[in-house]
Amino acid sequence: MKILRFAAVGVAAALALTACSSDSDTPSESASAKPTAGETSAAPEAATIKLWLNGTDTPQALRDYLTTTFATQNPGSKLVIEQQDWNGLVPRLQTALSSADQTPDVVEIGNTQSATFTYAGAFSDLTSLYPELGGDKLLPGFVEAGTADDKIMAVPYYSGARAVFYNKDMFEKAGVDIPTTLADFTTVAQKLTTDKVSGFWFPGQDWYNGATWIYTAGGDLAVKDGDQWKGALSSAESMKGLEQVQTLFKTANHAPADSDSNEPWVPFNQGKAAMFSAPTWARWSIDLPACNEGVDPDDKSDEATAKRTKQQACNEKHTGVFAMPGNAAGEYATAFAGGSNLAIPAKSQHQELAQNLLKIIFSADFQNMLGKNGLIPGNTEYATSMGDDVYAKAAIAAALGAKLTPAAENWATVEGDRTLEDFFQKVASGADLKTAAAATDQQISDTLNK
């Protein structure tokens, strides 16, 4: 599940960015929205509610904001935030969500995991609350992933942003510029490649990045045909993207076929890669030997802090970022969007308080706070809060037309079986594309229609 988070990619912010110029309505505390479940009384009974957040993406300041704001707006009630790990989240949800005593009242869930739980009836219907939380301005792909049988059961929390990091010195030495199209990207990567250096670090199992080429070429992982799902890797469009992927694997990459998308900065730091694609927070993991000041991470002295600042500046001076380009100059690639959704478990005994918490999360204040912390907020209207430094620009640019995995009930099983990891590994190992794609399509169809 960790991989999910690592795969956080840009999202369809721009789509809404254009539409957001209209009224910027601040979510009111209007208790008018009728609770879809639970108590019908005007003021909910005071209680302590539990929010599960995963990993450390939500910074402490934002957590504090939520607990204090919730306590102020709901006198007598209290919010407790319990941090969960991405790894092992699914078994935890499988058990805890079925227990009225133990269930959290609001949960964060990976967007590709949503479908499984929404179809299983684990969450409460949020359709009537949806307009108040942001309506159409909420990341559409994420809303779709949280919708089952036309009921909205999970709403977007945030989306991670992804960008291509590159070594400026290597670019200069090879005499290449930032690529302007996806085809150009391959050429540039090839030019950067030497015996020791990968032009583009492309791990064999990294299907989250690989999906970019499939999506940009107009292909898909699976499509719905009537009421049946069908694996779509062998469609003409997907194959076009996959051919580019295989070319990159073959001619511009030394990453092992058995490696995954975790920690691509390690070879970058070692000088073995000229480019890699990762969530924008990877900037904090770039540690070029030439810049390393050798400070102890525990050393809190002024001198050490100064050295660390100098080190970071040096690293960023030698490293650049850009958003993956699209089919034509000026366009951006359609990347896979990673991130998470929020939902209210059906078993929660405090439905109304939980809804109150959601309203706080979707308030302008909180959405802007998410943006300031480098996450694309669930309500795209506030994406501008991400700022305008080069990282934010790349992130927002990458968000153009980003796309999610198929919103099929059993999609999580495809991921659980690691079908796509196996497939991309075969592509990286030089397997015949047609055969491999056909076999994998069959597996995907079997799983999705089970």
Partner 1 sequence: MSTISAPTTVGPAPTNVGPARVRAAKTSEAGRSQSRMSRRLLSALAVVVALAWVFPIYWMVNSAFQPLNKLQAENPAWLPIGGTISNIRRVVNDGTFWQAMRTSLAVVVLVLVAALIFAFLAALAVSRFRFRGRKSFILAILVVQMIPAEGLFISQYQVLDGWGLVNKVAGLALVYTAAILPFTIWMLRGFVAGVPIELEEAGMVDGLSRVGAFFRITFPLLAPGLVAAGVFGFLQAWNEYTLALVVMTDPAQRTLPLWLQSLVESNRATDWGVVMAGSAVIAIPVIAFFLLVQGRMTSGLVSGAVKG
Partner 2 sequence: MAATAPTIPGTATPGTTPPVRRRRPRMGAYALLVPATVLIAVALGYPLVRQFRISFQEYGLKQQFGAAPEWVGLQNYTDLLSDSYVWTVIARSIAFCLVNAAVTMLIGVALAVLMQRVGRGARITLQVSLLLAWGTPVLASMTVWQWLFDTQNGVINWTLANVFGLDSWAHHSWIIQPLSFFFVATVIVVWMSVPFVAFSIYAGLLQVPEETMEAAQLDGASPRQRFWGITIPMIRPVLSIVLLLQVIWDLKVFTQIYTLQRAGAPTRDTNLLGTLIYSYSKDFGTAGALATIMLVITLALTGFYIRQMLKEDEL
Binds 212: which of partner 1, partner 2, none (CB < 5-8 Å by kind):
none
Contact between 121 and partner 2 per CB under 8 A: yes
- CB under 8 A: which stretch of 175-183, 322-330, 367-375, 408-416 binds partner 2? 408-416
327 contact choice in partner 1, partner 2, none (CB below 5 to 8 Å, kind-dependent): none
Give 145 or 282: the residue with its C-beta nearer to partner 1.
282
Question: Residue 281: which of partner 1, partner 2, none does it interact with, CB under 5 to 8 A by kind?
Answer: partner 1
Region of 10-18, 163-171, 253-261, 304-312 interacting with partner 2 (CB under 8 A): 253-261
* Alpha carbons 367 and 344: distance in angstroms, whole number: 19
The residues of the shown chain that bind partner 1, judged by CB under 8 A, are 2, 5-6, 55-57, 82-88, 91-92, 94-96, 98-99, 101-102, 263, 265-266, 269-270, 272, 281-282, 284-285, 287, 289, 292, 296-298
Which one, 183 or 284, has the nearer CB to partner 1? Answer: 284
Only segment of 133-141, 181-189, 250-258, 336-344 that touches partner 2 (CB under 8 A): 250-258
Report, in Å, the least distance between residue 36 CB and partner 1.
25
* Closest CB 205 distance from partner 2, rounded Å: 6
84 binds, among partner 1, partner 2, none (CB under 5 to 8 A by kind): partner 1
DSSP codes joined into one string, 120-143: TT-B---TTTHHHHTGGGB-HHHH
Residue 78 interacting entry, from partner 1, partner 2, none, C-beta within 5 to 8 Å by type? none
Tokens of 236: 């003409």
Q: Of residues 189-218, which lie at the interface with partner 2 (CB under 8 A)?
A: 204-205
Q: Which is nearer to partner 1, 145 or 375 (CB)?
A: 375
Dihedral (CA of 312, 261, 334, 10) sign: negative
Task: Give min distance, CB of 60 to partner 2, in A.
Answer: 27
Q: Which is nearer to partner 1, 284 or 438 (CB)?
A: 284
Tokens in use for 189? Answer: 């990567």
Instruction: Give the H or E element holding residue 340.
Output: strand 339-343
How many angstroms separate the CA atoms of 377 and 366, rounded?
9
Among 116, 235, 340, 367, which residue interacts with partner 2 (rule: CB under 8 A)? 116
Report the SS3 class of residue 350.
Answer: coil
**What φ, ψ does residue 303 adopt, rounded to 5°?**
-60, -45
Q: Is 253 in the site for partner 2 (CB under 8 A)?
A: no
Contacts of 36 (CB under 8 A, 6+ apart): 124, 125, 126, 127, 128, 129, 351
Q: Does 257 bind partner 2 (CB under 8 A)?
A: yes
For residue 99, the SS3 value is coil
Contact flag: residue 246 with partner 2 (CB under 8 A): no
Burial (CB < 10 A; 0-12, 13-18, 19+), residue 398, is buried
Partners of residue 376 on adjacent β-strands = 159
267 touching partner 2, by CB under 8 A: yes
Distance CA 22, CA 346 (A): 34
Distance (Å) of CA 64 to CA 31, 61, 82, 194, 366: 23, 5, 12, 49, 11
Under the binding rule (CB under 8 A), the answer on residue 240 touching partner 2 is no
Helix or strand holding residue 155 (H, E): strand 154-159
56-87 burial, b at 16+ Cβ within 10 Å, e below that, comes to ebbeeebeebbeebbeeebeebebebeebebe
420-439 residues near partner 2, rule: CB under 8 A? 421-422, 425-426, 429
Check binding of 252 to partner 2 (CB under 8 A). no
> Among residues 387, 376, 391, 383, which one has the least CA distance to residue 339?
376
- Contact status: 68 vs partner 2 (CB under 8 A): no
Ramachandran class of 360: left when φ > 0, alpha when ψ lies in -120 to 50, beta otherwise: alpha
Which residues sit at the interface with partner 2, rule CB under 8 A? 90-91, 94, 97-98, 116-117, 119-122, 204-205, 254, 256-260, 266-267, 346, 412-413, 416-419, 421-422, 425-426, 429, 443, 450
